Chain A
Amino acid sequence: MIAVTMKINGETRTASVPPETTLLALLRDQFNLTGSKLGCDVGDCGACTVIVDGKCVNACLILAAQADGRDVLTIEGLATLERLHPVQKAFEDNASLQCGFCGPGVIMSAKALLDENPDPTAQQIRDALAGNLCRCTGYTKMIEAVQDAARILRAERAPASQS
């Protein structure tokens, strides 16, 4: 067994896991954070996308032991009791999800993009979401939602003195 300690959604968590445990299995089975989905389990579908040290990764392709000491953000870390994250709100407002299984992964990819690039082009959004498969929507409403979220986040970040 390997002892791991990592920050998950801002909270320090520890666990003892067999070496072959993936970060995804740790999140879902030990920490009950089931927002990150187990889809293909081979890094093709993106349903397990989480943000580790600021970069989005497939949680199914990283061992829990490799995430030891790192900062992990999952879909559960975005909303507060008071409000959804602007990316989540934009997905809701645009009806960007249908069955929703891919949603947590798509939203984490979008969040990672907007953290680094507050004003992405449609092509940059497509590139950022290329690792997230959705079999319902055709992606168009997702791309519109990311553009809306980008606008909202830019307005929130803009200094108030501009008015």
Chain B
Amino acid sequence: MRAFELAVATDAAHAVALLAEHGPSVKVLAGGTDLLVELKSASHVPRVVVDISRAADLKGIAVTDQGLRIGALVTHTEILRSPLIREMFPALADAAHTIGAVQTRNLATLGGNLVTCVPSMDSGPTLVALDALVTIAGPGGRRQLPLTGFFVGPRKTILKPEELLVEIIIPRENLGKPANFQKFGLRKGQALALVNAAASLWMDWERNVCVAPRIALGAVAPTVIRAPAAEAYLEGRAITPEAMAEAGRIAVGEARPISDFRASVEYRRDLIAVLTRRALANAYARAVVAREGEIK
């Protein structure tokens, strides 16, 4: 690796100050599983790398007034083992478990996965399906926006050079919302998704219809996307196998998959339909189980 200077941030505010001080070419080091790989192969490395991995206020998983707050530095291992997440959002734990291998999950952070912003990221779809918000800290203070607005394109987010992703929040009204994550890769370990998908829904059991369905897709567009037409189709509709299959077919038309060395566009289209249907079916199954728990 080429030489750089390391500036160690003690907390989020310090990190923002260091980013402002060292200018636009500065890089942020969190888990390092993407950045160090990038720096090892780069012909130019930044003069300064800001190490945020010791910033305690960027860690932790907790329920706050706003909802479930996940610090940007929380690792994928911490997510998949968190009792809070396993109880409220097992889909998030499932998604975390599909990322890399044990060694990378122990280092890599949720914030890093979102900021690196590759189209096949496995932590994005479930969070998007749960209407997650992100908090960004900058020199002028903090701002919050929906995660969908955070993604701009492949390896590109809305973050300005002097800004830092601080936390991810699943809003209070979605706590416990039944959700599911599906990934299709070519192996179980260390595989990127050919397509991934997540769904969430509430059930109105009086009318036996689904409410506020969300469908999010990855690796089929420049960023993680929602499938709003498929969602609109399901809104207020009974969740039948036919309805879920139709939602999957509609979702295919909302994506813009490409052919690459991992899969053809035709194959990805088939996967979108199948994974969307499976994600919906599993989210619905979870809603059924939750309701049975309440009835007892």
A contact residues vs B (CB 8 Å cutoff): 2, 18-20, 22, 41-44, 46, 49, 55-58, 60-63, 65-66, 109, 112-113, 126-128, 130-132
Take A61-B32, A63-B6 as given contacts and tell me if A131 and B104 are in contact as well, using a CB distance cutoff of 8 Å.
yes
A-B contact pairs, 7 of them (CB 8 A): A43-B33, A61-B104, A65-B51, A66-B51, A126-B188, A130-B102, A131-B101
Give B107's nearest chain A residue, CB to CB. A57
| CB–CB A22/B102 < 8 A | no
| CB–CB A57/B51 < 8 A | no
CB < 8 Å neighbour of A130 from B31, B49, B107, B190: B190
Give A62's nearest chain B residue, CB to CB. B32
CB < 8 Å neighbour of B36 from A22, A49, A126, A132: A22
Give A69's nearest chain B residue, CB to CB. B54
| CB–CB A44/B36 < 8 A | no
| CB–CB B33/A55 < 8 A | no
- A61-B38 Cα distance, complex, nearest whole Å: 11
The answer to whether B295 has its CB under 8 Å from any CB of chain A is: no
Tell me, rounded to whole Å, the shortest Cβ–Cβ distance linking A61 to chain B.
5
- A18-B39 Cα distance, complex, nearest whole Å: 15
| CB–CB A22/B1 < 8 A | yes
The answer to whether B155 has its CB under 8 Å from any CB of chain A is: no
Work out how many contacts link A and B, with CB atoms closer than 8 A. 87
The answer to whether B8 has its CB under 8 Å from any CB of chain A is: yes
Set of chain A residues within 8 Å of B31, measured between Cβ atoms: 61
Set of chain A residues within 8 Å of B45, measured between Cβ atoms: 20
| CB–CB B53/A131 < 8 A | no
- A135-B11 Cα distance, complex, nearest whole Å: 43
| CB–CB A19/B36 < 8 A | no
| CB–CB B104/A41 < 8 A | no
Interface residues of B in 102-118 (CB under 8 A from A): 102-104, 106-107
Set of chain B residues within 8 Å of A131, measured between Cβ atoms: 100-104, 189-190
Give B35's nearest chain A residue, CB to CB. A61
Tell me, rounded to whole Å, the shortest Cβ–Cβ distance linking B120 to chain A.
16
Set of chain A residues within 8 Å of B55, measured between Cβ atoms: none
| CB–CB B6/A56 < 8 A | no
- A31-B109 Cα distance, complex, nearest whole Å: 29
| CB–CB A65/B6 < 8 A | yes
Take A20-B2, A42-B40, A66-B32 as given contacts and tell me if A61 and B107 are in contact as well, using a CB distance cutoff of 8 Å.
yes
CB-defined interface of B37-59 with A at 8 Å, one 1/0 digit per residue?
A: 10110000100010101000000
- A126-B33 Cα distance, complex, nearest whole Å: 22
Most buried by B among A18, A57, A109: A57
Tell me, rounded to whole Å, the shortest Cβ–Cβ distance linking A129 to chain B.
8
Set of chain B residues within 8 Å of A20, measured between Cβ atoms: 1-4, 39, 45
- A147-B39 Cα distance, complex, nearest whole Å: 39
Take A22-B1, A130-B189 as given contacts and tell me if A62 and B107 are in contact as well, using a CB distance cutoff of 8 Å.
yes
Set of chain B residues within 8 Å of A56, measured between Cβ atoms: 102-103, 106
The answer to whether B239 has its CB under 8 Å from any CB of chain A is: no
| CB–CB A61/B77 < 8 A | no
| CB–CB B29/A63 < 8 A | yes
| CB–CB A127/B189 < 8 A | yes
